[in-house]
Amino acid sequence: MITRTFQAAASAAVFALATAFAPAAVAACRECGTVTDVRTFKKEGEASGAGAVIGGVMGGVLGHQVGSGRGNDVATIAGAGAGAYAGHQIEKNRNATTTYVVVVRMEDGATRSFHFGGPSGYRVGDRVKIVNKKLTHR
């Protein structure tokens, strides 16, 4: 009787010791995770100068239509300056980009980010899976 009790206690101790040093359980799905953040990044566009040149020429031509004599010269210069500024701003706005970033916490604890050129449709809390290096709903 004492031997059986000792054997049961020894077995329980060995089992407890084995589970304490056992490796952590592997995640059920290595490519699965949950969306934790969705961010939008807007990058201001760069201007090459072409918009300023075209705007300056157009503004100068329009300014030249106003007044006569010295007033005509002033209107031409003012029109060229205003046109150059407007053309520069239009070109910058046209070249601006928006990037959408979806941040995913994987089941193994890692964090991964996915970049999209347009709204992705993913929301915080969505369960997702990576298939062929692309994010998909699960």
Encode pLDDT of 93-113 as tens digits.
888 888 999 999 999 999 999
Rounded average pLDDT over 22-42 = 80
Length of the chain: 138
Element (H, E) at 130: strand 127-131
Please state which of the ranges 12-16, 58-62, 71-75, 117-121 shows the lowest mean pLDDT: 12-16
Rounded average pLDDT over 59-67 = 73
Rounded average pLDDT over 59-71 = 74
Question: Best-predicted range by mean pLDDT among 6-20, 39-53, 83-97, 107-121?
Answer: 107-121
Residue 15 confidence class, pLDDT cut points 50, 70, 90: low
Do residues 73 and 90 touch, judged by C-beta distance below 8 A?
no
109, 127: one domain? yes
110, 89: one domain? no
115, 129: one domain? yes
What does pTM read for this prediction? 0.54
57, 81: one domain? yes
pLDDT for residue 36 is more than 70: yes
The domain of 132 spans 2-44+96-137
- Total of domains in the chain: 2
Residue 22 confidence class, pLDDT cut points 50, 70, 90: low
The dihedral formed by the CA atoms of 113, 118, 122 and 124, expressed in degrees to the nearest 10 = 70
Nearest to 126 by CA among 105, 97, 100, 99: 105
104, 133: one domain? yes
